[in-house]
Structure 1
Amino acid sequence: MFLQSYSVPVADVMSYDIFIANEKDEMNSIIDYLIHNVKKEVLICDDDKKIKSVITMADVYKFVRADISKIKLNDFMKRNVLWVNPNESLSNCRAIMLENKIGRLPVVENGNIVGIIREEHIRDYFYKGVEEAELAIKHIFNSIHEAICVVDNKGRIVIWNKNAEKLYGFKEDELKGKYLEEYFPDAIDLKISNTKESVKNVYYSPKEGYHVIISASPIIIDGKLYGVVSTEKDISEVEELQSELKKAKEQLKILEKQIKKYSKDPFERIIGNSKKIQGKINIAKQIANSNVSILLTGESGTGKEEFARAIHYSSGVLGNFVPVNCSAIPSELFESEFFGYVGGAFTGARREGKAGFFELANEGTLFLDEIGDLPLSMQAKLLRVLQDKKIKKVGGEKYIPLNVRVVSATNKNLLDLIDKELFREELYYRINVVEIELPPLRERKEDIVLLVDYFLKEFCKENNRKIPSIDNEVVQILMEYDWKGNIRELKNVVEYMAIMCNEEVITSEFLPKYIFTKNLDSFLNYNINSFDLNESVKNLEVNLIKKALDMTSGNKLEAAKILNIPRTTLHSKIKKYRIDD
């Protein structure tokens, strides 16, 4: 508050206790009012209520020996009265009073007197601010973990916080106002008073048996030394603090990544502007805030886990997002992994027990990936928990109630598995209140460029590499490829190109070789119209050469590399088959 006091407007501090007299009034009545009402001033106005003067008791004292009845008020009034508006700051009012050697200022708004600001108002408000600031500073210093000592320019202790009391065993009441030298003759603070130079993170033993890391600085304002402030940390805590700091940094990095991913719209992490993917995103957003079970289907690599995460973070639930790969859990460990176990439940179990996936996801989301790979015996146990909404740990006796949102995913046709009696029909309907089928990448090829750009920038940023540009020929090849592995495969290809390319532009030579092979293989599945071997070989060569030239935008050198033949041979065959014609 003290620091803010100088900018406080007059309206917040001024007094409304004012007395206004007319300039035509008798001086006698003015003096009577001041004396009998113990007032400090009377404001004199004209008939239009415009302020003309201020009469104070100090003015009256000058005429105590005169015949008051003969004094005319008009002759007595001071002219050019200074006044301020309600929005004027206290600091400006104080400056005006000091400059003009006056103790008050009328406050005028829209030509009318609305109050008065006196020197004692400003003084009292500032003193109040100083007191509150002192209490706030004391609270702040006591909240700081380090021991803090502040001495004035005479070496007397001004501040001695709670951690200083704890470190040295002296109470603030014992030391405040005393000379630091009496208790700590070798204190660094005393040396700083002489050198006026700061020290930082210095090992120091101010007294036998005390070992601290200290930082101290002189308090210098306008070239004048006002004192010294020092902070001290018990060195025995440093190793423990460093270990905790390392853990905190690791956790902070994880949290920062999560926050960056999902601080805005969680679905922004799903890249794509195609109608197909945007339609799926709209459905997911619509149901995210509900508690219905969701089944995400689609080929492997289409982004089912990313959808599940976006649904979780968009739902606003307080619990964790717990992903589980159902295909990776052995049947004999199903119960202990999903439901947890109590200490000593079986040989090799942790003494403190373990929380299962369901307990970890309580009040949050459990993502069951590859749920179609669960054996029937495990499906029955899972179904029971989803129905009862409670679990019992392995070796435990009590049931634990749960509130878990389940999002499942599979790349298999669960209805076919039901027909083959490999998946329980009851479980299917339990997990599939809403199904979202994610499209394969080959059905949303307009998103490939966006995905390539995103993965390339992400990879280069994580690996501190300069982001290269991509040749149009490479983009064309990626657009024509079928992407059986979908987004996961595309990401792998982008990372491969980024790590293999040491140039400013990624060209086709940095593509994985299998991309070319599969593109050509799909192209070679043409209809054979003739069993004439020579004609077929000719057609094959023509088709291969045309395809290679098309893939390289007519670059014969690159086309020859793809075809694995010398450039001269390619030129010869182009001329022979008149491919340029």
Structure 2
Amino acid sequence: MTVAAYTHSISNAPANFLTINSELLSRERWQAILQYKQAFLQNEAEDPRQYSYMDQEVAASWIRSRKRGVNPYSVVTGSNLSPAKLSEILDKNRGLIDITYALTKSLQDVILACGYILYLFDKDGIVLLNNGSLESFVKLPEFDTRTGLLINEESEGTTAHELCLRLKRPVQLIGPEHYCIAFQNSIASAAPIKDVNGIIQAVAVLVSQPLLNTPEEDTIKKMGPHSLCLVISLATIIETEFNLKNRYNTVVNALHATLACIDEGIVTINQQGRILHINPAGMRILKLRQEEADARNINEFLGNNSCLMDLAKKGENVTVEERFGVGFDKDYYQVNIRPILNKYTQELDVAVLKLSSCEKLAAQKSGKTGNVAIYTFENIISQNKEFQKSMALARRFASSPENILVIGESGTGKELYAQAMHNVYCPQGPFMAVNCAAMPRELIESELFGYEGGSFTGAERNGRPGKIELAHGGTLFLDEIGDMPLELQAVLLRTLEDKQIMRVGGSRYKKVDFRLIAATNRNIHKMVKENQFRADLYFRLSVLTINIPSLRDRGEDIKVLSEFFVEKYCRKNGWDIPQISLAAQKKLNEYEWPGNVRQLQNAMIYAVNTALGDVIKPENLPNYIILETCPIKIEDISSGNGNLGEMLCLENLEKAAIETALMHANNYVPAAAEILGISRSTLYRKLKDYNIEYS
């Protein structure tokens, strides 16, 4: 009788109360099934699915058991596993066995007093543990344990644990429902034990002591619910303990794996920031001794404006730049935050922090081995729909091994895209970046392909690998590909086709495996038509093409990015974060930004350093922004179509200068007077004379 048969009587019961239809646990039903069993075993034509008291799942199992030739009068008595295999299985399930053993040891008196035997089966039907006395089972051989036996439908026919595994839910079999005659006087109740993903890892089973051939009604009605409720409770406790232990082991294993990166600091913290684990490099960074680490909090070593804990609690894998240290002795570190969330509450359990010295990363970036790909798509900020479409395309292309061409003006973030795509495709591989426009024509070939020793005057004695060779297993980023010399384009094309290189002065080819990302701010298609760029190379490079919109076409991003750059720069230096005034933001929005995002970042660094208070005003912006966004410009007056004498009238020029100064000073008269080099009273008078509004 499966628990499915109880559904109608359980569904309306309280959460912690199990009710069972008394008709299903009756002496009459027991006796009827016993008669069916005898008829079924004596006559192969009998179909138990037609019997009125039979559970359909049990009937189907009887039929399968008979077809498999299972002897109902025998039980499994010997292990059909080799000692080595059995040892492997027991070791694999050691956690479950230990938890069950500890639990049943505390309940042993209850189990024995009730005459139960507790079994723990693995998901294949192998007995991992049994507790209780087998002496009352006269049909069983005289031994104290069945551990290590493989018991399934093929060996013992219909059993509670086999149906539990098949149906993935609790199951109870009353006496004659068992296929094996040795258990036909017992009640067996089974419940699954699942992992955090809902996959069954084991089954707990309680088997009652043998009852009379047809036990009394009262005995059946008491023992049935009792054993089922008890085994479900036991399975729930084992499951909870097992999953808690696994979660802890997962965290510990992740920590040990990360500690292999001994050059970086590894710190594990809890939701409150308390340090749980720290490696030697982390202790050097935080200037901690091992014995005091457990009592410290990561917030003690961060600046007041740090966002590290807030980012960790969001549960996203991010990389940020933070200052770590004690007092004023702080250094900059790139921090990889890897949070581990509670499966049920989705709140932060622990976070693993990897601290890498920014100075070391900068040295790597500027050294001969190329750039460090530190940016991911999460680091790229935009609210513009067109830009988001471009980034969505880049995310899709990132996993492809094909060459990628990124087109965009200078400063739009082409290398950020390249690094983000690299960190999706092959984050563990090298990221080699070459700016084709910044390299002399006579050196670019040896820089890309490397050279053998003595190939030319000044060459290193042992030769040197090129950027393509160093990019093996990773990404080669060729920036400003449009400036690559024509004669070198043919060599690059050949390399892309057969993935082989030959060093300058060399005599043999070497296999290389890399993904190419090229970038340009030029119209390559037009250059192809003008024979300034090879058509075959262009088609090879542009298998997948991404266009990045310029900043002037992303109006909503100017405000978002300007505030982001101000906050980032101030956090880096431990300063208070100033607000950008409406007038200053208006100037930023009106400017054309020929240098795009890079120029905006530099402008905000200038503004932060010139702002005296907690507000960035127009006068704190670079002069080129002020001049380009003035509502009235001298050149506009001099180049107009009106009367030249009227345009050059001193009064008109003076009025234009006053209006420009007011705009520059955000309508603050004292500041405007200082810009014009006149007194406040003089400026107030001229404002009245020219009827200029300034409030």
Same fold flag (TM > 0.5): yes
Deviation per CA, 1:128-184: give whole Å up to 9, x if none. xxxxxxxxxxxxxxxx99xxxxxxxxxxxxxxxxxxxxxxxxxxxxxxxxxxxxxxx
Counterpart selection for 1:111 from 226, 229, 235: 226
Counterpart selection for 1:384 from 494, 516, 536: 494
Assess if the C-alpha contact under 8 Å between 1:364 and 1:404 holds in 2: yes
Residue in 2 aligned with 1:158? none
Task: Kindly report which structure 2 residues correspond to 1:51-66, keeping only aligned pairs within 5 A, or say none.
Answer: none
Length, aligned pairs only: 375
Residue in 1 aligned with 2:131? 15
Report the residue type matching 1:572 in the other structure: R
The alpha-carbon deviation at position 536 of structure 1 amounts to: 4.8
Report the residue type matching 1:504 in the other structure: D
Q: Distance in 2 between matches of 1:6 and 1:545?
A: 87
Task: Kindly report which structure 2 residues correspond to 1:90-169, keeping only aligned pairs within 5 A, or say none.
Answer: 110-112=225-227
Residue in 2 aligned with 1:556? 669
The alpha-carbon deviation at position 16 of structure 1 amounts to: 3.5
Residue in 2 aligned with 1:496? 606
Residue in 2 aligned with 1:568? 681
Counterpart selection for 2:463 from 353, 371, 377: 353
Q: Distance in 2 between matches of 1:460 and 1:413?
A: 38
Report the residue type matching 1:333 in the other structure: L
Query: Given the two structures, how large is their TM-score scaled by the length of structure 2?
Result: 0.47
Report the residue type matching 1:393 in the other structure: R
Report the residue type matching 1:337 in the other structure: E
Q: Distance in 2 between matches of 1:434 and 1:566?
A: 62
Q: Distance in 2 between matches of 1:395 and 1:522?
A: 62
Structure having greater relative contact order (Cα 8 Å, sep ≥ 6): 1
Q: Distance in 1 between matches of 2:457 and 2:450?
A: 15
Is 1:365 the counterpart of 2:475? The answer is yes
Counterpart selection for 2:646 from 516, 529, 533: 533
Q: Distance in 2 between matches of 1:319 and 1:260?
A: 10
Residue in 2 aligned with 1:579? 692
Q: Distance in 1 between matches of 2:495 and 2:373?
A: 34
Report the residue type matching 2:133 in the other structure: D
Determine which structure has more spread, i.e. the larger CA radius of gyration.
Answer: 1
Deviation larger for 560-569 or 290-299: 560-569
Residue in 1 aligned with 2:449? 339
Assess if the C-alpha contact under 8 Å between 1:476 and 1:551 holds in 2: no
Assess if the C-alpha contact under 8 Å between 1:293 and 1:433 holds in 2: yes
Q: Distance in 1 between matches of 2:398 and 2:630?
A: 43
Task: Kindly report which structure 2 residues correspond to 1:341-490, keeping only aligned pairs within 5 A, or say none.
Answer: 341-490=451-600
Deviation per CA, 1:383-421: give whole Å up to 9, x if none. 222233211122333212223222212222234434443
Is 1:295 the counterpart of 2:405? The answer is yes
Structure 2's unaligned 5+ residue stretches are 1-93, 105-117, 121-128, 145-190, 193-222, 232-258, 261-289, 292-354, 366-370
The alpha-carbon deviation at position 362 of structure 1 amounts to: 2.0
Q: Distance in 1 between matches of 2:683 and 2:358?
A: 58
The alpha-carbon deviation at position 259 of structure 1 amounts to: 11
Question: Matched residue of 2:642: which SS?
Answer: coil
Residue in 2 aligned with 1:203? none
The alpha-carbon deviation at position 323 of structure 1 amounts to: 1.2
Structure 1's unaligned 5+ residue stretches are 22-32, 40-85, 88-107, 117-143, 146-214, 217-247
Assess if the C-alpha contact under 8 Å between 1:371 and 1:410 holds in 2: yes
Assess if the C-alpha contact under 8 Å between 2:632 and 2:660 holds in 1: no
Seen in structure 2, the aligned counterparts of structure 1 residues 374 and 516 have a Cα distance that, compared at 3 Å, is: same
The alpha-carbon deviation at position 285 of structure 1 amounts to: 2.0
The alpha-carbon deviation at position 289 of structure 1 amounts to: 1.9
Assess if the C-alpha contact under 8 Å between 2:617 and 2:666 holds in 1: no
Is 1:304 the counterpart of 2:414? The answer is yes
Query: Given the two structures, how large is their TM-score scaled by the length of structure 1?
Result: 0.55
RMSD after superposition = 4.3
Assess if the C-alpha contact under 8 Å between 2:618 and 2:664 holds in 1: no
Seen in structure 2, the aligned counterparts of structure 1 residues 537 and 280 have a Cα distance that, compared at 3 Å, is: farther
Seen in structure 2, the aligned counterparts of structure 1 residues 478 and 7 have a Cα distance that, compared at 3 Å, is: farther
Report the residue type matching 2:672 in the other structure: A
The alpha-carbon deviation at position 576 of structure 1 amounts to: 1.0
The alpha-carbon deviation at position 369 of structure 1 amounts to: 0.8
Counterpart selection for 2:620 from 510, 535, 539: 510
Q: Distance in 2 between matches of 1:291 and 1:319?
A: 14
Assess if the C-alpha contact under 8 Å between 1:261 and 1:269 holds in 2: no
Q: Distance in 2 between matches of 1:449 and 1:115?
A: 63
